[in-house]
Amino acid sequence: MTAAIASDPALELDRTPDLVELAGAARDAGHDVMLFERAVPDAVSIAAVGRRFEIVSTPEGADLQDGDGRVLESAPDSNRLTAAARLWARLAAESSVVNGPVGTGLVAVGGFAFDPGREPSGPWAGFPAVLFRVPALAVTRVRGRTFATGDLQLLEQPQSWRGPVARRFDVQPTRAEADWLAAVAEAARRLRGGEADKVVLAREVMAHADGVVAAGAVARALRNAYPACFTYLVAGADGTAFAGASPELLLRRSGLTVASQPMAGSTARGENDAEDRALAARLAASAKDRSEHQLTASHVAAVLSGVCATLDVGAPEIVRFTNIQHLATTISGELRQPAPSALELAALLHPTPAINGSPSDAAGRLISELEGIERGWYAGAVGWMDGRGDGELAVAIRCGLLYEDGARLYAGNGMMPGSEPEAELEETRLKLRVLLGALSG
């Protein structure tokens, strides 16, 4: 890069377009699309259409590319997230970033795979290990106001006909449940033997549909069913789309403030308030779940303490979502200067024990030996970052890889030495309902 890159001013809109509908219509029209939305008043939600620049992983690190895929700059680094963060800092430094609301000006939306160190394969061929895109149009909603940055003509997307909507699904695990139960039993045995303290094992199921699975409709259904979660949608280069509704905040950086809310340990919702409270009380009293949760919260706190001047670690609490309750700990701090950017923080934090296990390397070996699936972007992260270094990333769980006529759905659990295979299987079924209920839109 040799010339300053202009950043378009953010224009406040008189009307507030539905971000999910905009993203869905743009995808139907053939545009590159990303969406990150949370329906709470102070949250930043962004619909991204088209491409202006991309930061994308390479075998050597990461490249900055223009909208036509030409490489503008490369950053070699064995840690691809660190390489991507370096390119983003350089782009921001050479851009005339217009002061405006958070999430406007120079902004990128995207995410990364569970293992950013290698390119996803098989069904995830349309997704690089790391991808953050500066879109041709970004529509940002924050604190009840909506701003558009870029090509305003992309606000108007034509309606398209996509054929009969899917109503029935044939759902089959990609790995026999008996085999997965055996893998859980083996994991628990090896944990008792001291190979690791915790490991997360995931399941994958295939849902074959009798009609069209429209990504926009799935995202809308997820938002409506799970309004307290992060709704996300990322279109793949091969016609697939990655969609989900995540309850878990990996990190939020705003100036010198950083926050994370790791979650580990879960139970179902009850039929009424009394059942809810009883289930929550059992979860809070469970030695297995408390220990599992403490591993995750302690990891996040330890990492952030290394970059923070002050750190506040809350007590574990029960957080409730539409169909599930989790143990969660809120951790926040004031970053020391020079403050790391959102993506630099992600490179430090990921993967947490919530989606990998502990210790990290030992858990990773167990996953490779026992899980038997290609995770791709499942258990990675999705979100946004801006030219100030601020941003927000959610853990990419409660998700699926969508096709025209079906989906691959993912759910995982943290295994401990005392894990019971049948109980772990039932918990994955509970989590998989998040996507199954949304597939027909």
Nearest CA to 372 out of 184, 198, 169 is that of 184
Each residue of 117-131: pLDDT tens digit?
A: 999 999 999 999 999
Question: Residue ranges per domain, the chain?
Answer: 5-155+168-436
Residues 34, 384: Cα–Cα separation, whole Å: 10
Task: Read off the pTM.
Answer: 0.95
The second-level CATH assignment, the architecture, of 5-155+168-436 is: 4-Layer Sandwich (3.60)
Q: What is the DSSP letter of 314?
A: P
Query: How far is C-alpha 52 from the chain's CA centre?
Result: 22
| Helix axis angle, 360-370 to 177-192, nearest 10° | 150
- Whether 99 has a pLDDT exceeding 70, the answer reads no
First-to-final CA distance of the chain:
43
User: Encoding tokens for residue 206?
Assistant: 């295939």
What band does 404 get if pLDDT is binned at 50, 70 and 90?
A: confident
Active site residue 288: no
Cis bond upstream, residue 128 (ω within 30): no
Each residue of 272-301: pLDDT tens digit?
A: 999 989 998 999 998 888 998 999 999 999
Active site residue 248: yes
Q: What is the pLDDT of residue 349?
A: 97
- Catalytic residue chosen out of the listed positions 37, 54, 119, 198: 198
Cis bond upstream, residue 338 (ω within 30): yes
- Whether 243 has a pLDDT exceeding 80, the answer reads yes
Angle CA(437)–CA(146)–CA(46) in degrees, nearest 5?
A: 45
DSSP letters along 249-264, please?
EEEEEETTEEEEE-EE
Residues 390, 40: Cα–Cα separation, whole Å: 18
- Catalytic residue chosen out of the listed positions 37, 119, 204, 248: 248
Q: What is the pLDDT of residue 212?
A: 84
Whose tokens are 């995931």? That residue is 202
Name all contacts of 271-278 with Cβ < 8 Å and 24+ positions apart. Answer: 276/320, 276/325
